[in-house]
Structure 1
């Protein structure tokens, strides 16, 4: 199975280096992506928006022969949902890692500090304690050293969706900062925050208790969770 790995804010393809080898060892073909404007700290991010990141994922999908599994971490969840909307018949399953599908007109995060065309990685004290669970000093230093500013237009661009067949694509949500039971309670209560997720009939939840960056704090359990979702998808298809 071709598995496209979409990083969250401030991260590039290398952020999946603790996860991708286990997927490959299981016989799959991981495709970790570096999205436009995130090639380096010096890359030009002017004019790059959310749709550009979605289009970059779709281009990779179109270059692969069969159906794919999409994995999106954090803000990458909004990106893969846009790609599902663009190519609903091309996606076997969408896996959201401490994230979820962003609905029509939504933005990923317009509260983050902007410097010109960039959204730099904030200081650690700006994050909630739940974000930083298991992210020790060494991991924080490594994260900050590799961090690339996010394009302003990605953080603040509005999601534009067109094809309701996106709701037919099975979804796995890997919850880290809070238990999946809480997320399911929000869905049942009609919380607007999860309105798009609530419209998807085939959703499974996997709990992976840690902070917001499990690819750093729990890479092996994250790979196991992704593989479990992919294996179920292949069984269903068989």
Structure 2
């Protein structure tokens, strides 16, 4: 598996794979530091932005790992040039890339917490795009209620990812199988659920766009139409 690991990758106290800045490059960065901040940011983005999402997963309880398809060799080496560049460029890395959790509820929120705690509050607040599972709604027709782990997920994103602009929600058979059911009673319940979730999402004031991606089945037209009515973007 093509993991973002090298001899410069270490683990911090939270157990998240991260780069260890090299002190040997400190003296070589003085000329680069004279470049305008905007130009430096453009350079960081050209080097650190990858074409596909960065997928996060956990095979052990104490380490969050990452997989980035088609990443250039040593694409994050820039972060190890100096402490100054690491401080400035790491924010660009988290701001310009898409992050996706390879875990499903209820373990998903555990992975999210470990990842965000590991990268620290500054990097967490730089993340602009996150992909997580669609919130799981408990089957209570008389009272729509988001399951505890899904509610916690939204709360963590609101608290720690203060720069989050786009939230992509993935629909799959294990969390929203009834979204693809052709049943009038089920459809009405789903529409009620969507409006309830929309209120929760609007509570995360930084979010500008909600995207919906379906991994299994096809959404009923009335459901996808209601999602668009709420302002959500339904991805192909």
TM-score, normalised with respect to structure 2: 0.33
Structure with the greater alpha carbon radius of gyration: 2
| Larger RCO (CA under 8 A, 6+ residues apart) | 1
